[in-house]
Chains A and B, each alone.
Chain A
Amino acid sequence: DADVTQTPRNRITKTGKRIMLECSQTKGHDRMYWYRQDPGLGLRLIYYSFDVKDINKGEISDGYSVSRQAQAKFSLSLESAIPNQTALYFCATSTGVSNQPQHFGDGTRLSIL
């Protein structure tokens, strides 16, 4: 089983719909992250959480919200989806040590029509 699991893997939806992407991990890491990937732009940080009571905005948080339900679960919501939020979304985790690498899920491909 994957250490960092994202659901769904693929989603097609319509403009204006509320969407939730879920991430769960079995690595026991405290820190969790959400990124979006767009062709030619690399990965950009949306939100991150260093523990259950900690939520921080990243580079591109507008139009998104998150919930850290437990140490192992971190959800990303699009309150009212718009077409330019069509992208590949990644969840990642890391330990509490800043020089340790992040570990990524396999991504959720989201298409908004």
Chain B
Amino acid sequence: AQSVTQPDIHITVSEGASLELRCNYSYGATPYLFWYVQSPGQGLQLLLKYFSGDTLVQGIKGFEAEFKRSQSSFNLRKPSVHWSDAAEYFCAVDPGYSTLTFGKGTMLLVSP
């Protein structure tokens, strides 16, 4: 069955440290890939997306993600985390049907 896996339910990172959030998908072909962020009480905001081409994509707020076909992964990274990055992060895939399947999310906590 098609699926999206975010293996880390919670991650705690010190402010200023680097961050990597993992996402793996299981689809027959390369889907369209997205990362969204949800701050408390808010809807989902798009951070970045991958459709084709360069496998390293840049997003808003200093985030980037790298698509690795061989690993079926689309991991989100940030070189230096700020306290305002504390939120829940969702990886999502669209296999081409214009519908999204979401991972279960990773809650990012930022320590002083």
Contacts and interface: CB of A to CB of B under 8 A. Distances in A.
A107 B42 CA distance: 7
B94 interface: yes
B103 A94 contact: no
Contacts of B74: none
Chain A interface extent, by class: 20 to 34
A42 B104 contact: yes
A78 to B, nearest CB: 20
A98 B43 contact: no
Contacts of A43: 44, 90, 92, 100, 102
B60 to A, nearest CB: 12
Contacts of A102: 100
Interface residues of B, number: 25
B99 interface: yes
A6 B45 CA distance: 16
A35 B99 CA distance: 11
A50 interface: yes
A50 B98 contact: yes
A99 B53 CA distance: 13
B43 A90 contact: yes
Interface string A84-101: 000000101010101101
Given A50-B98, A58-B99, A101 B46 contact: yes
Interface in B24-55: 32, 34, 36, 41-46, 49, 51
Given A33-B99, A40-B105, A99-B49, 14 more contacts: A35-B102, A42-B102, A42-B103, A43-B90, A45-B100, A96-B98, A98-B94, A98-B97, A98-B98, A99-B32, A101-B46, A104-B36, A105-B43, A106-B41
22 contacts: A31-B98, A33-B100, A35-B102, A40-B104, A40-B105, A42-B90, A42-B105, A43-B90, A43-B102, A44-B102, A45-B99, A45-B100, A48-B99, A90-B44, A96-B98, A98-B32, A99-B32, A99-B49, A99-B94, A101-B46, A102-B100, A104-B44
